[in-house]
Amino acid sequence: MGTSNGTKITVQAVIQAPIEKVWICWTEPAHIMKWNQASEDWHVPNAENDLRTGGKFLTRMEAKDGSMGFDFAGVYDEVNTHELISYTLGDGRQVEITFMEQGSETKVVETFDPESTNPVEFQQAGWQAIMDNFKAYTERS
């Protein structure tokens, strides 16, 4: 399922919150379940996170009507608190998230290998929608 053309996709947001809060909202399962969906008709009924190098994570993503769902899971390659998270998904694709403190704001940049089933533009739009949900959730919580 991985891609071999070397293309990377990047999504990002500047969150109006200190880096400590941004990190907690990004990494704690109780928070992940509240923001990790691309649209209102999806939800996350379960999230598990062993946030350490070599640790595993699993996020169950499902359509609210029960018509479909999938596990988003992988293993952490590197975790540097308040700075960097990188992981490898079950299909071999790699993801890197950087957290940059900018005064009272935090910039989050996520770069990932696309999968080969859907167009790159579709994947970027979906991951950006999730990032936008994360920003909104973190700023209001």
List of residues 6+ apart from 117 with CB closer than 8 A: 1
Q: Within the chain, which residues score under 50 in pLDDT?
A: 1-4
Query: What was the pLDDT predicted at 44?
Result: 97
* Single pTM value for the model: 0.93
Query: What was the pLDDT predicted at 114?
Result: 96
Of 83, 120, 98, 86, nearest in space to 12 by CA: 98
List of residues 6+ apart from 130 with CB closer than 8 A: 11, 35, 36, 37, 38
Query: What was the pLDDT predicted at 16?
Result: 98
List of residues 6+ apart from 103 with CB closer than 8 A: none
Of 10, 28, 19, 37, nearest in space to 107 by CA: 19
